Amino acid sequence: MNVLVTGGAGFIGSHIVDALVERNHTVTVIDSLDPAAHDGPPEWMNPNATWRLGPASGEARSADVAEEATWDGALEGIDAVCHQAAKVGLGVDLTDAPAYAINNDLGTARMLAAMSASGWGGRIVLASSMVVYGEGRYACPDHGIVAPLPRRSDDLDADRWEPRCPTCRRELTTGLVPEDAAIDPRNVYAATKAHQEHLCGAASAELGTVTTALRYHNVYGPRMPRDTPYAGVASIFRSQLANGRPPQVFEDGGQRRDFVHVSDVAAANIAALERPVPYAGALNVASGHPFTLLDMARTMAAEDGRGLEPAVVGGYRIGDVRHVTADANLARSVLGFEAQVQPSDGLAAFVHEPLRRPPAR
């Protein structure tokens, strides 16, 4: 296939580009090289892909998916679009909201408008996220599966971390969240990822396209950004260890997440792109082996080998949720996808893997 990868210079996108090239697909990349994430063109650009990059590369043409000019002729000869371009992470505060809406929502809307204008009708694989769920799946001993109440600041300030039943306010037990769970985005980034799914779904009938939305759980691995507010917790712990500091773990460290290696995420994208009949809908992309954040920090600190025991520092971030762990069965049955890297092995290796250099300040 001829595949267009937006955001293909980034952490996940670059691994997808490598995997596509390895499987003899023809790959074109559009990436704006957002200075919040990149300090110029990365060293891992695959020479067998065609690259269209932003001003940091010296190119005059636009490579920002949120700009109409970027899409002029971009879809000619393209069979599938792997839409990875996005602003990620929780950001700093609500002053980041316009940038998230522009990069994620407007960027996707521009893409869909260009598809409509050109009569394009291929397949779309969309990078979505587990953040659309808000909290994960919970059950109350008395009321069964329930949507938990939003965590309250007075509870969090008193170190009462676990979500509570909306009926009886008892603490809930956590389980695996399936794709048919109601979505409940609880921060700006999450809201924009949900909107990307909705935009693609709303446009599919008019365009004659099929969108497979891959809801990535906590992705880690080489080429992650380091030392930015937009980096994931794995990168933050990795950077702290690299600087000779013990990992700083918020709350009590009992937060549960599913950490999935970037090579497995790339494999899920390949499976979605190559499926004979495109799958319309959302799929969890996860390892299927949940970890607590404290266990994750301990695994990484032990591999570091300098005796830097993780420090549970309490505190919390507004917009964080307590537990989100995935039911990975649907991706297995639909795509034949099953993660190959066990988190215990992958996180240990990650301690020694290169991260993306921080952008210039």
For the stretch 301-355, pLDDT in tens is 999 999 999 999 999 987 789 999 999 999 999 999 999 999 999 999 999 988 7
**How does residue 231 score in pLDDT terms, banded at 50, 70 and 90?**
low
Strand order in the sheet with 2-6: 50-53, 26-31, 2-6, 80-83, 123-129, 210-216, 281-285
Alpha carbon distances (Å) from 295 to 187, 221, 237, 258, 344: 25, 17, 12, 12, 9
The C-alpha atoms of residue 334 and residue 271 are separated, in whole angstroms, by: 9
Catalytic residue among 138, 189, 220, 279: 189
Q: Please confirm, yes or no, whether 189 is among the known catalytic residues.
A: yes
130: nearest Cα among 335, 327, 344 = 327
Please say whether the dihedral angle defined by the alpha carbons of residues 39, 43, 44 and 46, taken in this order, is positive or negative: positive
**Residues 6 or more apart in contact with residue 304 via CB below 8 angstroms:** 241, 351
Fill in the DSSP letter of residue 310: -
Tokens found for residue 353: 């893997």
Q: How many residues does the structure list for the chain? A: 361
For the stretch 169-208, pLDDT in tens is 999 999 999 999 999 998 899 999 999 999 999 999 899 9
Is the pLDDT reported for residue 55 higher than 60?
A: yes
pTM of the predicted protein model: 0.94
- In this prediction, residue 360 carries a pLDDT of 57
Helix axes 343-350, 293-304, angle to 10 degrees: 50
